[in-house]
Amino acid sequence: METVDSNALSAQHLVKIYNPDRPELAVRAVDDVSFTVERGESVAIVGPSGGGKSTLMYMLGCLSRPTSGSYLIDGRDVARLSDDALAEVRNRHIGFVFQAANLLPRRTAVENVMLPLAYAGARGARERALEALERVGLAQRAAHRPNELSGGQLQRVAIARALVTRPSLLLCDEPTGALDSRTGREILDLLEALNREGTTLLMVTHDAAVARRMRRALRIGDGRLEADGPTEEVLDGAPARASDAGGG
Partner 1 sequence: MLLWETLGTAWKALGASKLRTALTTLGMVIGVGAVVTMLAMGEGARAMVEGKIRSLGTNLLSVTPGAPARGPVRTGSVETLTWDDARAIAELREVARVSPESMGSAQVRYLAKNMTSGVVGATVPYLAVHSYDLTAGTAFSDNDLLARRRVAIIGANVARTLFGNLSPVGERIQIKGMSFKVLGVLEEKGNEGFSSPDDQILVPLSTHQAALFGRDYLSSIALQVASEEATSRVQTEIKRLLRLRHRLGASAEDDFDVRSQQEMLQVMGQVIGIFTALLGSVAAVSLLVGGIGIMNIMLVSVGERTREIGLRMAVGARRRNILLQFLVESVIVSVAGGLVGLGLGAVGAAGVASVAGWPMVVPVYAVVLALATSFGVGLVFGVSPARRAARLDPVEALLHE
Nearer to partner 1, 79 or 120 (CB): 120
Q: Is 137 left (phi over 0), alpha (psi -120 to 50) or beta?
A: left
18-46 in b/e form (b: 16+ CB < 10 A) is eeeeeeeeeebbbbebebebeeebbbbbb
Give 69-126 as a DSSP string.
EEEEETTEEGGG--HHHHHHHHHHHEEEE-SS----TTS-HHHHHHHHHHHHT-SSHH
Smallest gap from Cβ 237 to partner 1, in A, equals 31
Nearer to partner 1, 115 or 238 (CB): 115
Question: How many angstroms separate the Cα of 208 from the Cα of each of 16, 57, 96, 214, 228?
Answer: 26, 18, 21, 10, 15
Residues 127-146 that bind partner 1 (CB under 8 A): none
The span from the CA of 239 to the CA of 31, in Å, is: 23
Give ∠ CA 205-85-68 in degrees, rounded to 5: 60
- Residue 25 in the binding site for partner 1 (CB under 8 A): no
The span from the CA of 14 to the CA of 142, in Å, is: 41
Count the Cβ atoms, other than its own, within 10 Å of residue 227: 18
Residues 161-180 that bind partner 1 (CB under 8 A): 161, 165
| Beta strands at 68-73 and 7-18: parallel, antiparallel or unpaired | antiparallel
- Residue 125 in the binding site for partner 1 (CB under 8 A): yes
**Which part of the chain contacts partner 1 (CB under 8 A), choosing from 5-13, 88-96, 132-140, 149-157?**
88-96
Smallest gap from Cβ 229 to partner 1, in A, equals 29
- Residue 122 in the binding site for partner 1 (CB under 8 A): yes
Tell which one of 29, 74, 96, 216 touches partner 1 (CB under 8 A): 96
Tell which one of 116, 152, 175, 223 touches partner 1 (CB under 8 A): 116
Smallest gap from Cβ 234 to partner 1, in A, equals 26
**Which part of the chain contacts partner 1 (CB under 8 A), choosing from 23-31, 61-69, 134-142, 185-193?**
61-69
Tell which one of 28, 39, 107, 144 touches partner 1 (CB under 8 A): 107
Tell which one of 24, 106, 127, 239 touches partner 1 (CB under 8 A): 106
Nearest to 143 by CA among 128, 130, 124: 130
How many residues form the binding site for partner 1 (CB under 8 A)?
31
The span from the CA of 201 to the CA of 207, in Å, is: 16
Nearer to partner 1, 15 or 122 (CB): 122
Smallest gap from Cβ 103 to partner 1, in A, equals 9
Task: Give the interface with partner 1 as residue ranges (CB under 8 A).
Answer: 58, 61, 63-64, 83-84, 87-88, 90-92, 96, 98, 102, 104, 106-107, 111, 114-123, 125, 161, 165
